[in-house]
Amino acid sequence: MKRRTFLTTSAAVGAAAVAVDPRPAKAVTQKHKFKLKYAPHFNMFKNLAGEDPIDQLKFAADQGFTAWEDNRMKARPVELQEKIGQTMERLGMQMGVFVAHGSIGKLTFARKDEAVWDSVLKDIRDSIEVAKRVNAKWMTVVPGNLDETGRDRLAMGYQTANVIELLRRCSDILEPHELVMVLEPLNWYANHGGVFLQGSPQAYSICKAVDSPSCKILFDIYHQQITEGNLLPNIEKCWDEIGYFQCGDNPGRKEPGTGEINYRNVFRYIHSREFDGVLGMEHGNSRKGAEGEQVVIDAYVDADSF
Protein backbone atom coordinates (compact mmCIF):
# COMPACT_ATOMS: atom_id res chain seq x y z
CA MET A 1 0.00 0.00 0.00
CA LYS A 2 1.29 3.47 -0.90
CA ARG A 3 1.96 5.81 2.04
CA ARG A 4 -0.67 8.35 0.87
CA THR A 5 -3.30 5.60 0.58
CA PHE A 6 -2.36 4.22 4.02
CA LEU A 7 -2.68 7.63 5.70
CA THR A 8 -6.03 8.33 4.06
CA THR A 9 -7.40 4.92 5.06
CA SER A 10 -6.11 5.28 8.63
CA ALA A 11 -7.72 8.69 9.00
CA ALA A 12 -11.04 7.36 7.76
CA VAL A 13 -10.94 4.43 10.17
CA GLY A 14 -10.08 6.75 13.06
CA ALA A 15 -12.92 9.10 12.19
CA ALA A 16 -15.33 6.18 12.02
CA ALA A 17 -14.16 4.96 15.40
CA VAL A 18 -14.79 8.37 16.93
CA ALA A 19 -18.21 8.58 15.29
CA VAL A 20 -19.46 5.27 16.70
CA ASP A 21 -17.84 5.38 20.17
CA PRO A 22 -20.82 5.48 22.58
CA ARG A 23 -18.78 6.34 25.66
CA PRO A 24 -19.31 9.88 26.98
CA ALA A 25 -16.26 12.08 27.17
CA LYS A 26 -15.21 12.77 30.75
CA ALA A 27 -14.59 16.33 31.75
CA VAL A 28 -11.17 16.94 33.24
CA THR A 29 -11.61 18.86 36.49
CA GLN A 30 -8.88 20.04 38.79
CA LYS A 31 -9.20 18.97 42.41
CA HIS A 32 -9.97 21.98 44.59
CA LYS A 33 -8.02 22.47 47.80
CA PHE A 34 -10.62 23.66 50.30
CA LYS A 35 -9.54 25.64 53.35
CA LEU A 36 -12.21 24.04 55.56
CA LYS A 37 -13.60 20.52 55.92
CA TYR A 38 -16.93 20.77 54.10
CA ALA A 39 -18.91 17.53 54.33
CA PRO A 40 -21.37 16.45 51.63
CA HIS A 41 -23.86 13.64 52.25
CA PHE A 42 -25.10 10.61 50.35
CA ASN A 43 -27.07 11.33 47.15
CA MET A 44 -25.96 14.95 46.98
CA PHE A 45 -23.84 13.98 43.92
CA LYS A 46 -25.66 10.82 42.78
CA ASN A 47 -26.07 11.95 39.16
CA LEU A 48 -22.39 12.76 38.75
CA ALA A 49 -21.06 9.90 40.88
CA GLY A 50 -23.67 7.15 40.48
CA GLU A 51 -25.99 5.46 42.98
CA ASP A 52 -23.33 3.45 44.81
CA PRO A 53 -22.45 5.15 48.14
CA ILE A 54 -18.80 4.15 47.88
CA ASP A 55 -18.55 5.72 44.44
CA GLN A 56 -20.11 8.88 45.86
CA LEU A 57 -17.40 9.06 48.53
CA LYS A 58 -14.69 8.63 45.91
CA PHE A 59 -16.25 11.29 43.69
CA ALA A 60 -16.40 13.78 46.57
CA ALA A 61 -12.76 13.10 47.40
CA ASP A 62 -11.84 13.66 43.76
CA GLN A 63 -13.50 17.09 43.95
CA GLY A 64 -11.39 18.00 46.98
CA PHE A 65 -13.88 17.41 49.81
CA THR A 66 -12.14 16.02 52.88
CA ALA A 67 -15.13 15.17 55.09
CA TRP A 68 -18.54 13.51 54.94
CA GLU A 69 -21.67 13.31 57.09
CA ASP A 70 -24.66 11.00 57.16
CA ASN A 71 -27.65 11.52 59.45
CA ARG A 72 -28.93 8.03 58.65
CA MET A 73 -25.73 6.11 59.35
CA LYS A 74 -27.20 4.20 62.31
CA ALA A 75 -29.90 2.74 60.05
CA ARG A 76 -27.44 1.41 57.47
CA PRO A 77 -26.32 -2.26 57.50
CA VAL A 78 -23.25 -2.96 59.63
CA GLU A 79 -21.37 -4.27 56.58
CA LEU A 80 -21.95 -0.99 54.74
CA GLN A 81 -20.94 1.06 57.79
CA GLU A 82 -17.65 -0.83 57.93
CA LYS A 83 -17.07 -0.39 54.21
CA ILE A 84 -17.79 3.34 54.46
CA GLY A 85 -15.33 3.69 57.33
CA GLN A 86 -12.61 1.77 55.50
CA THR A 87 -13.13 3.72 52.28
CA MET A 88 -13.00 7.09 54.02
CA GLU A 89 -9.82 6.11 55.82
CA ARG A 90 -8.18 5.19 52.49
CA LEU A 91 -9.35 8.47 50.94
CA GLY A 92 -8.15 10.55 53.88
CA MET A 93 -11.66 11.81 54.61
CA GLN A 94 -12.99 12.64 58.07
CA MET A 95 -16.40 11.43 59.21
CA GLY A 96 -18.77 14.09 60.47
CA VAL A 97 -22.00 13.63 62.39
CA PHE A 98 -24.64 10.97 62.31
CA VAL A 99 -27.82 11.20 64.39
CA ALA A 100 -27.46 9.42 67.72
CA HIS A 101 -30.79 10.62 69.09
CA GLY A 102 -33.30 13.00 67.54
CA SER A 103 -36.71 13.06 69.17
CA ILE A 104 -38.23 15.96 67.24
CA GLY A 105 -41.94 16.19 68.05
CA LYS A 106 -41.63 14.08 71.22
CA LEU A 107 -41.31 14.93 74.88
CA THR A 108 -38.11 13.17 75.93
CA PHE A 109 -35.53 15.28 77.76
CA ALA A 110 -37.67 18.07 79.25
CA ARG A 111 -39.85 15.86 81.48
CA LYS A 112 -38.31 13.31 83.81
CA ASP A 113 -39.63 9.92 82.75
CA GLU A 114 -37.17 7.14 83.57
CA ALA A 115 -38.56 4.75 80.95
CA VAL A 116 -38.19 7.39 78.24
CA TRP A 117 -34.76 8.39 79.53
CA ASP A 118 -33.61 4.76 79.46
CA SER A 119 -34.49 4.63 75.75
CA VAL A 120 -32.45 7.79 75.14
CA LEU A 121 -29.46 6.33 76.97
CA LYS A 122 -29.80 3.13 74.93
CA ASP A 123 -29.63 5.23 71.75
CA ILE A 124 -26.40 6.77 73.02
CA ARG A 125 -24.86 3.39 73.90
CA ASP A 126 -25.85 1.94 70.53
CA SER A 127 -24.21 4.88 68.78
CA ILE A 128 -20.79 4.07 70.21
CA GLU A 129 -20.32 0.99 68.03
CA VAL A 130 -21.52 2.89 64.96
CA ALA A 131 -19.00 5.64 65.68
CA LYS A 132 -16.20 3.07 65.93
CA ARG A 133 -17.11 1.46 62.59
CA VAL A 134 -17.06 4.75 60.67
CA ASN A 135 -14.31 6.49 62.67
CA ALA A 136 -16.69 9.21 63.83
CA LYS A 137 -16.07 11.60 66.69
CA TRP A 138 -19.32 13.59 66.69
CA MET A 139 -22.97 12.55 66.86
CA THR A 140 -26.07 14.73 66.75
CA VAL A 141 -28.50 14.88 69.67
CA VAL A 142 -31.77 16.82 69.52
CA PRO A 143 -33.33 16.91 73.01
CA GLY A 144 -36.96 16.66 71.98
CA ASN A 145 -39.82 19.10 72.46
CA LEU A 146 -40.85 21.53 75.14
CA ASP A 147 -43.27 20.41 77.81
CA GLU A 148 -45.90 22.99 76.89
CA THR A 149 -49.29 21.29 77.08
CA GLY A 150 -51.52 19.96 79.85
CA ARG A 151 -52.20 21.08 83.40
CA ASP A 152 -49.02 19.59 84.80
CA ARG A 153 -46.65 21.20 82.29
CA LEU A 154 -43.39 22.24 83.83
CA ALA A 155 -41.94 25.73 84.15
CA MET A 156 -38.99 26.35 81.85
CA GLY A 157 -36.45 26.25 84.66
CA TYR A 158 -37.49 22.74 85.67
CA GLN A 159 -37.43 21.57 82.06
CA THR A 160 -33.94 22.97 81.60
CA ALA A 161 -32.76 21.21 84.76
CA ASN A 162 -34.14 17.92 83.43
CA VAL A 163 -32.40 18.38 80.08
CA ILE A 164 -29.09 19.08 81.82
CA GLU A 165 -29.44 16.02 84.04
CA LEU A 166 -30.08 13.65 81.13
CA LEU A 167 -27.27 15.19 79.08
CA ARG A 168 -24.90 14.56 81.98
CA ARG A 169 -25.92 10.90 81.97
CA CYS A 170 -25.29 10.77 78.21
CA SER A 171 -21.89 12.41 78.68
CA ASP A 172 -20.91 9.84 81.30
CA ILE A 173 -21.44 7.14 78.66
CA LEU A 174 -19.51 8.95 75.92
CA GLU A 175 -16.55 10.41 77.81
CA PRO A 176 -14.59 7.13 78.23
CA HIS A 177 -14.73 6.70 74.44
CA GLU A 178 -13.73 10.33 73.72
CA LEU A 179 -16.89 10.80 71.67
CA VAL A 180 -18.86 14.04 71.47
CA MET A 181 -22.59 14.61 71.19
CA VAL A 182 -23.36 17.93 69.56
CA LEU A 183 -26.65 19.58 70.52
CA GLU A 184 -28.49 21.14 67.60
CA PRO A 185 -30.74 24.17 68.19
CA LEU A 186 -33.51 24.18 65.57
CA ASN A 187 -35.68 27.02 64.30
CA TRP A 188 -39.39 27.20 65.16
CA TYR A 189 -40.45 29.40 62.27
CA ALA A 190 -39.76 27.37 59.13
CA ASN A 191 -39.15 23.80 60.24
CA HIS A 192 -39.45 22.61 63.84
CA GLY A 193 -41.96 24.46 65.98
CA GLY A 194 -42.09 23.22 69.56
CA VAL A 195 -38.55 21.92 69.98
CA PHE A 196 -36.90 22.58 73.33
CA LEU A 197 -33.54 23.77 72.00
CA GLN A 198 -33.87 26.80 69.77
CA GLY A 199 -30.99 29.27 70.06
CA SER A 200 -27.26 29.42 70.51
CA PRO A 201 -27.33 31.30 73.88
CA GLN A 202 -29.62 28.59 75.27
CA ALA A 203 -27.37 25.82 73.94
CA TYR A 204 -24.30 27.60 75.31
CA SER A 205 -25.72 27.87 78.83
CA ILE A 206 -26.73 24.19 78.80
CA CYS A 207 -23.29 23.02 77.65
CA LYS A 208 -21.69 25.13 80.39
CA ALA A 209 -24.00 23.51 82.95
CA VAL A 210 -23.34 19.96 81.68
CA ASP A 211 -19.62 20.78 81.82
CA SER A 212 -18.34 17.85 79.76
CA PRO A 213 -16.01 17.56 76.76
CA SER A 214 -18.61 15.14 75.37
CA CYS A 215 -21.37 17.78 75.19
CA LYS A 216 -20.93 20.59 72.66
CA ILE A 217 -23.00 22.72 70.26
CA LEU A 218 -23.84 21.92 66.66
CA PHE A 219 -24.16 25.43 65.26
CA ASP A 220 -26.38 25.06 62.20
CA ILE A 221 -25.94 28.34 60.35
CA TYR A 222 -29.23 27.95 58.47
CA HIS A 223 -31.29 27.40 61.63
CA GLN A 224 -29.61 30.18 63.57
CA GLN A 225 -29.99 32.70 60.77
CA ILE A 226 -33.75 32.13 61.04
CA THR A 227 -33.91 32.01 64.83
CA GLU A 228 -31.57 34.83 65.80
CA GLY A 229 -29.41 36.14 62.94
CA ASN A 230 -26.38 38.12 64.14
CA LEU A 231 -24.34 35.10 63.07
CA LEU A 232 -20.73 36.14 63.58
CA PRO A 233 -21.21 37.71 67.04
CA ASN A 234 -23.18 34.67 68.21
CA ILE A 235 -20.57 32.26 66.84
CA GLU A 236 -17.90 34.29 68.63
CA LYS A 237 -19.76 34.25 71.94
CA CYS A 238 -20.37 30.48 71.70
CA TRP A 239 -16.98 29.60 70.28
CA ASP A 240 -15.56 27.61 73.18
CA GLU A 241 -18.62 25.31 73.20
CA ILE A 242 -19.04 24.82 69.44
CA GLY A 243 -17.97 21.38 68.23
CA TYR A 244 -19.48 21.30 64.77
CA PHE A 245 -21.10 23.47 62.08
CA GLN A 246 -23.74 22.79 59.46
CA CYS A 247 -24.54 24.91 56.43
CA GLY A 248 -27.51 25.86 54.30
CA ASP A 249 -28.62 29.21 52.91
CA ASN A 250 -31.86 30.97 53.86
CA PRO A 251 -34.52 31.04 52.58
CA GLY A 252 -34.76 27.65 50.90
CA ARG A 253 -32.06 25.66 52.71
CA LYS A 254 -29.96 25.16 49.60
CA GLU A 255 -26.26 25.67 48.81
CA PRO A 256 -24.40 28.90 49.66
CA GLY A 257 -25.19 31.75 47.29
CA THR A 258 -28.89 30.96 46.95
CA GLY A 259 -30.07 33.12 49.85
CA GLU A 260 -29.22 35.96 52.19
CA ILE A 261 -26.23 34.59 54.12
CA ASN A 262 -22.78 35.86 53.17
CA TYR A 263 -21.12 32.47 53.43
CA ARG A 264 -17.76 33.68 52.19
CA ASN A 265 -17.54 35.98 55.21
CA VAL A 266 -18.86 33.31 57.59
CA PHE A 267 -16.35 30.74 56.35
CA ARG A 268 -13.57 33.34 56.49
CA TYR A 269 -14.35 33.99 60.15
CA ILE A 270 -14.51 30.30 61.06
CA HIS A 271 -11.20 29.72 59.28
CA SER A 272 -9.63 32.70 61.07
CA ARG A 273 -10.38 30.96 64.38
CA GLU A 274 -8.35 27.95 63.16
CA PHE A 275 -11.37 25.67 63.28
CA ASP A 276 -10.23 22.12 62.54
CA GLY A 277 -13.62 20.40 62.68
CA VAL A 278 -16.25 19.62 60.06
CA LEU A 279 -18.88 21.80 58.38
CA GLY A 280 -21.74 19.59 57.25
CA MET A 281 -23.49 20.46 54.01
CA GLU A 282 -26.96 19.74 55.43
CA HIS A 283 -29.05 21.25 52.65
CA GLY A 284 -30.63 20.41 49.34
CA ASN A 285 -29.53 21.29 45.81
CA SER A 286 -31.16 24.32 44.21
CA ARG A 287 -31.20 22.66 40.78
CA LYS A 288 -31.92 19.10 39.73
CA GLY A 289 -29.66 16.59 38.03
CA ALA A 290 -25.95 16.62 37.28
CA GLU A 291 -26.01 20.34 36.46
CA GLY A 292 -27.39 21.13 39.91
CA GLU A 293 -24.75 18.96 41.56
CA GLN A 294 -21.99 20.85 39.78
CA VAL A 295 -23.59 24.09 40.92
CA VAL A 296 -23.25 22.90 44.55
CA ILE A 297 -19.56 22.11 44.07
CA ASP A 298 -18.97 25.48 42.40
CA ALA A 299 -20.84 27.26 45.21
CA TYR A 300 -18.45 25.85 47.82
CA VAL A 301 -15.42 26.65 45.70
CA ASP A 302 -16.67 30.23 45.47
CA ALA A 303 -17.57 30.56 49.17
CA ASP A 304 -14.20 29.07 50.12
CA SER A 305 -12.34 31.64 48.00
CA PHE A 306 -11.57 34.12 50.75
| pLDDT tens figures, 94-140 | 999 999 999 999 999 999 999 999 999 999 999 999 999 999 999 99
The verdict on residue 20 lying in a domain is: no
Give a yes or no: residue 129 inside a domain: yes
Q: How many domains does the chain have?
A: 1
Q: Let me know if residue 22 belongs to a domain.
A: no
Nearest to 196 by CA among 211, 207, 185: 185
Work out the pLDDT band at 152, boundaries 50, 70, 90.
Answer: confident
The answer to whether residue 16 is domain-embedded is no
pLDDT tens digits, one per residue of 243-286: 999 999 999 999 999 999 999 999 999 999 999 999 999 999 99
Gap between the Cα atoms of 132 and 146, Å rounded:
32
6 within some domain: no
Pairwise CA distance, residues 236 & 121, whole Å: 31
Sign (positive/negative) of CA torsion 116, 219, 243, 140? positive
Cβ(70)–Cβ(42) below 8 Å: yes
Instruction: Residue 44: name the closest of 286, 305, 223, 236 by CA.
Output: 286
- In percent, how much of the chain has pLDDT > 70? 90
Q: Check residue 151 and give its pLDDT.
A: 76
Q: Considering the entire predicted model, what is its pTM?
A: 0.89
Domain region containing 43: 33-303
Residue 48 lies in a domain: yes
CATH number, position 155? 3.20.20.150
Q: Residue 7 falls within a domain, yes or no?
A: no
